[in-house]
Amino acid sequence: MDNFIFQNPTKIIFGKNTESSVGKEVSSYSKKILLHYGGGSIKKSGLYDKVVASLKEANIEFIELPGVKPNPRLSLVREGIQICRDNGIDFVLAVGGGSVIDSAKAIAIGVPYNGDVWDFYTDKADATEALPVGTILTIPAAGSESSTGSVITNEDGWYKKPYNSALIYPKFSILNPELAYTLPRYQISCGAADILAHLMERYFTNSKNVEFTDRLIESTMKTIINNVPKVLKNQEDYDAWAEVMWAGAIAHNNLLNTGRVGDWGSHNIEHELSGIYDVAHGAGLAVVFPAWMKYLYKHDMNRFVQFAVRVWNVEQEFFSPEETALQGIKKLEEFFVSIDMPITLKGLGIEDDRYEEMANKATDNDASPLGNFVKLNSKDIVNILKLAQ
Amino acid sequence: MDNFIFQNPTKIIFGKNTESSVGKEVSSYSKKILLHYGGGSIKKSGLYDKVVASLKEANIEFIELPGVKPNPRLSLVREGIQICRDNGIDFVLAVGGGSVIDSAKAIAIGVPYNGDVWDFYTDKADATEALPVGTILTIPAAGSESSTGSVITNEDGWYKKPYNSALIYPKFSILNPELAYTLPRYQISCGAADILAHLMERYFTNSKNVEFTDRLIESTMKTIINNVPKVLKNQEDYDAWAEVMWAGAIAHNNLLNTGRVGDWGSHNIEHELSGIYDVAHGAGLAVVFPAWMKYLYKHDMNRFVQFAVRVWNVEQEFFSPEETALQGIKKLEEFFVSIDMPITLKGLGIEDDRYEEMANKATDNDASPLGNFVKLNSKDIVNILKLAQ
């Protein structure tokens, strides 16, 4: 186990009707906030009205900034920063999924910064201050509701880049599983793929002696695998949604990478896919991850055997670790197919071949190889994308 | 899953040589602290010298209060409160195991309180303020390094009582597995029993649809069961100690009871044992828990079957849940025996029969039954103690 520091201060407010406490929660921080959200879904579902009522009851003034899209755009972040500065706003409330929360976090670090917020995402600066952020989560997926991360897409060149800082752990996150009832099926499945990917990125590590976190990650994966089919079958299955929503937050809240170094190669490859083709992040991950595994499972066969046996209940072939390992990867693919996720680039609607372009962009022309479990250069990435064709 | 709020702000600083950062960590909070510890073990191990050097390097003034005993005493807490008040001390640093940390927490809530600190432990008052507390953990056991809890023993009548408040989450806890190398074997085993007990108290619940936390608890139990024999075999096995130490903290940091109501009957019964006989808490739990299980496993046979199969790898008897359940309890007893824990009151050195006295004290003469999984009155407690004879 590696040395580590872990501190996650986000207050999780979980359960039925918890969104009605948002005004009270915000009022510990601010009297004038930016209310940030996406399209009309929160108005259709009635969530918007509840939030506004709770804010008004707590005498909290708010200015709205809707319009966050999946793969949230830098231009809207800049607009949000300007609104906050012009109006003396000192708190950002995100109501939505990971895109809205990531956008809110970007605004939060952008407001007190003298330069351009994109600096943070391009390693040109590190945030030293941030407005507090609160969230009401509507999509179990990105884990941004209890994480240090934010991923923003710069439309100028379609660069999709992550930034991490302990400053942007949300102060509170309200998680009501009922808010997920009205999600489109495709979004539910994309969310499940994203959560599984967060867990797999952490699971595939070269750090030794990580039994405890291995087991915790496996437990979280099994919870997702067992409950996502239930919510797809009955979108109002509160109990199954509660499992998915809480597991999705824990998957990405940094507990599960304590003492170990995750990989994150697949995420970075996927960022190129969704940067260029604007595909859903989860769907892109469902395509990239199995290909990534097939390309490099021999790097640590024992770990892939453990993954197969413990997570997927594969009957172990004691005399053929390779067969066991490959069965685990197959089970992962079968799971994705069973929840209507694509597992090929074609299935994702990508028919052309810009593999080298993406590989070069992802690695900065091989100046920065991707991943930790196995370092990937642009040639590796092309090979992985070919395996995903 | 029940609605819940979860927020654990403790900063965990984990790994080799992390104790050398204590001065720096403290200096964010204070320049004058109470240095609280137990007997001479931290001097013998060299930890004391390292802590003092780090505090001096950070220009932190400290007054020492050693002398914390297992089942930490109210009289020393009162002494600590007085020292802090007389010297304008505004931070308590605990260096030791759960007893030292619990004592430090009691001092921390006692200093700003006008009344007697015992009020908190007897439900006469609730803390509204506390000095910040930091810890350097030497014994993986109580989980107090990342919990809201403190248990204090009042020598006047030998009452052992818990108090919980989010105010006493430590600000930081330094966890270096190397610090456990020099623990007496008996203390290692008592610690293991305590950790397992924290997990079982949470596991045995009537809350429904708690798959995720069930799985997380099982993972944590398996980690303890797998690694404690390793540290007993080689007390300098860093990797195994790291698993035990991190699992011990997570076992009690409130994550694993999110959305569920734990039992805590066994803990309360054990508090009577160690209150009257001053036995080690972990050893007392190893005696009480199996008896508690035998007394009431029929209350939820499915849960006991799951416990047997998932935690203890019992080969399931599909046509006899009861046999499977009992096998799980037997495995727990065998584990305790394998790490030299007693599983009977006699083994604990308790030969007399003050069962009714303890049962009446524990339930306040049946005014407050114990436990949540099954409510226990004084008669039940006597029966459980008889099963543990």
What angle separates helix A281-296 from helix A185-203, to the nearest 10 degrees? 40
Q: State which amino acid sits at residue B365.
A: N
Q: For residue A167, what pLDDT is reported?
A: 98
**Same CATH fold assignment for domains A11-179 and A185-387:** no
Is A225 an 8 Å CB contact of chain B? no
Is A313 an 8 Å CB contact of chain B? no
Query: How does DSSP classify residue B373?
Result: S
Contact B387, B294 (CB under 8 A): yes
Per-residue model confidence as pLDDT tens digits over A136-182: 999 999 999 999 999 999 999 888 899 999 999 999 999 999 999 99
The Cα–Cα gap between B226 and B329 comes to 17
Contact B219, A216 (CB under 8 A): yes
Is A303 an 8 Å CB contact of chain B? no
The Cα–Cα gap between B255 and A25 comes to 21
Residues B7, A12: C-beta atoms closer than 8 Å:
yes
Tokens read off for B45: 């191990």
Give the chain A residue whose CA is nearest to the CA of B208: A239
Q: Kindly report the length of chain A.
A: 389
Distant-in-sequence, close-in-space partners of A72: CB < 8 Å, separation ≥ 6: A99, A100, A102, A103, A106, A151, A152, A153
Place of tokens 């790994």: B15
Q: Output Rg (C-alpha) for chain B, integer angstroms.
A: 20
Q: Among B197, B220, B202, which Cα is nearest to B262's?
A: B202
Burial of A164 (0-12, 13-18, 19+ CB in 10 A): middle
Give the chain B residue whose CA is nearest to the CA of A248: B212
Is A223 an 8 Å CB contact of chain B? yes
Q: For residue B6, what pLDDT is reported?
A: 98
Tokens read off for B97: 């195991």
Q: Decide yes or no: CATH 1.20.1090.10 for domain B185-387.
A: yes
Q: For residue B278, what pLDDT is reported?
A: 86
pLDDT < 50 regions, chain A:
none
Q: What's the distance, CA B168 to chain centroid? A: 14
All structural domains of chain A with their residue ranges: 11-179, 185-387
Phi first, then psi: what are they for A9, rounded to 5°?
-85, 0
Burial of A34 (0-12, 13-18, 19+ CB in 10 A): buried
Contact A286, A342 (CB under 8 A): yes
Q: For residue A40, what pLDDT is reported?
A: 86
Q: Which residues of A touch B258 (CB under 8 A)?
A: 12, 14, 246
CA-based torsion, B58, B61, B66, B71: positive or negative: negative
Looking at domain B11-179, its CATH architecture is 3-Layer(aba) Sandwich (3.40)
Q: State which amino acid sits at residue B157.
A: G
Residues B219, A222: C-beta atoms closer than 8 Å:
no
CB pairs under 8 A between A and B: 115
Place of tokens 């707590």: A58
Residue A376, CA distances (Å) to A161, A204, A276, B19 in order: 18, 14, 20, 37
Tokens read off for B141: 């056991």
Residues B14, A7: C-beta atoms closer than 8 Å:
no
Q: How far is B317 from chain A (nearest CA, A)?
A: 19
Q: What angle do CA A53, A59, A63 make, to 5 degrees?
A: 75
Phi first, then psi: what are they for A351, rounded to 5°?
-105, -25
Give the chain A residue whose CA is nearest to the CA of B12: A6
Of A3, A14, A223, the CB nearest to B14: A3
Tokens read off for B200: 């079982």
Mean pLDDT of chain A: 97
Q: Which residues of A touch B195 (CB under 8 A)?
A: none
Per-residue model confidence as pLDDT tens digits over A299-324: 999 999 999 999 999 999 999 999 99
Q: Among B262, B256, B263, which Cα is nearest to B212's?
A: B256
Block mean pLDDT (10 aa), chain B, length 389 = 98 98 98 96 96 98 96 97 98 97 98 98 98 98 97 92 96 98 96 98 98 98 98 98 98 98 96 89 97 98 98 97 98 98 97 94 95 98 97
Is A389 an 8 Å CB contact of chain B? no
Q: For residue B105, what pLDDT is reported?
A: 98
Residues A239, B8: C-beta atoms closer than 8 Å:
no
Q: For residue A78, what pLDDT is reported?
A: 98
Place of tokens 């950062």: B21
